[in-house]
Amino acid sequence: MGSYFAEVVKNMNNLGIDPVGAVISSVKDIYTRPEKEIEEIKAHLICDSFKFHYENNAYYRGLCDEQGVTPDDVQTFKDLVKIPGIHVARFKDVNSHQLLTKSIASLEHELRSSGTSGIPSISRRDEATINRTVLGIYAMYREFFKFFDGEAIFLAPSAEEMPEMGMVKVLSMFSGLMDGSHNVVKQATFVPEEVIELLNKWERIHTRHLIGPPFMIDRLLNYLRENDIRLKLDRKTKVITLGGWKRYTGVEIDREQFNKECAEYLGIKEDQVRDMYGLVETNFMAIECEQHEKHVPPWVHFSVRAMEDLSKEVEDGEVGRLVILDPTSISYPGFIITEDLVFLSKDKGCSCGRNGQRINYLFRIKGAEIGCCAINLEKHMDENEKSDGGEGFSVSCFC
């Protein structure tokens, strides 16, 4: 790719500076750049990542050879659609270690997610990939929430209780940006009175935030509604959700109604409710702004493909299958064919002032396994409550 940015990246590499990390650190500025510049920046990072995995990963190179694609074929933003993707189900395969570009010895951590089959999806990360992941998630948190004080109530288990659960790991990262935090799901048990007591205790002392999967926030709202309790949280309060809007029973939580009830029973505005999207196999969070537009990180590309032909992209605004191109992954190729049906916002630019892609998630494709952290957590909590207590649980996943 012959461009000014390509020359800048080359100089960074010569100086031992990670170009992906540099872009992540500049997220605020990059979001304000013209669409074409954002496309050029992400394209260069993704093309470079593709070349790295093609040259160093025997399994992935074989996949590329089957499709007749080499790094010479992927040179511009328009060429990104040619990059072969790895089906997300491949991470559940007993031989998922074959996906690795880096050696097993270089790995520092792995996260797992399990669906209804109970077969875990395993994503393994080396030092450089973890560094980029942590930097990228915190950069997005700061960009969209500006947190560096306040108290957070996590309506989820603690990372100590569930260290491999990706959703918990990602949500727990918020605690480093707060004055304090509390996890109120313990041994699969949730007591809504504890949340209310904490919120009342912190009134006029801290900005109060609620963070957790939608079904847990919904449980709190149900308790408040049934007991005719209306709280008054703070002007800067955020209600942040991650983990999907479908319950393990198959019932969908109505997002519009959810926002309205948050406003009514928590005493906040609807634009203070924010959802996030991510997968255990990737290293980022797509986060809603105050307009409820979910912004893709500007170093990641969301390619929405035609259902009948995954080699072709659909137009923005049209529904298709999501393929994620994530250049942060070094341990394995971050080019993932998901089971999610989505569409990208058609109009360019958001009224919040950020440019780049904005995703609208619909549901999983027909026949895809229904299962994620939130679904498995809710199912276990319900089973625990029906049995009048339990001895804890073990569910490892992300969303």
| CATH architecture entry for 131-294 | 3-Layer(aba) Sandwich (3.40)
User: pLDDT, tens digit, for every residue of 250-291?
Assistant: 678 999 999 999 999 999 999 999 999 998 889 999 999 999
Place of tokens 């040179």: 75
User: pLDDT, tens digit, for every residue of 87-109?
Assistant: 988 887 767 778 889 888 888 87
**Cβ contact 175:182 at 8 Å:** no
Q: How far apart are alpha carbons 126 and 334 in whole angstroms?
A: 13
Region 111-136: what's the mean pLDDT? 77
For residue 358, pLDDT over 90 is answered with yes
Domain residue limits, the chain: 131-294
Q: How far apart are alpha carbons 184 and 197 in whole angstroms?
A: 11
Outline where DSSP puts E strands in 225-272: 239-242
**Cβ contact 366:391 at 8 Å:** no
The amino acid at 293:
E
- Phi, psi angles (nearest 5°) of residue 356: 100, 180
Among 15-19, 119-123, 380-384, where is mean pLDDT lowest? 380-384
Global confidence as pTM: 0.88
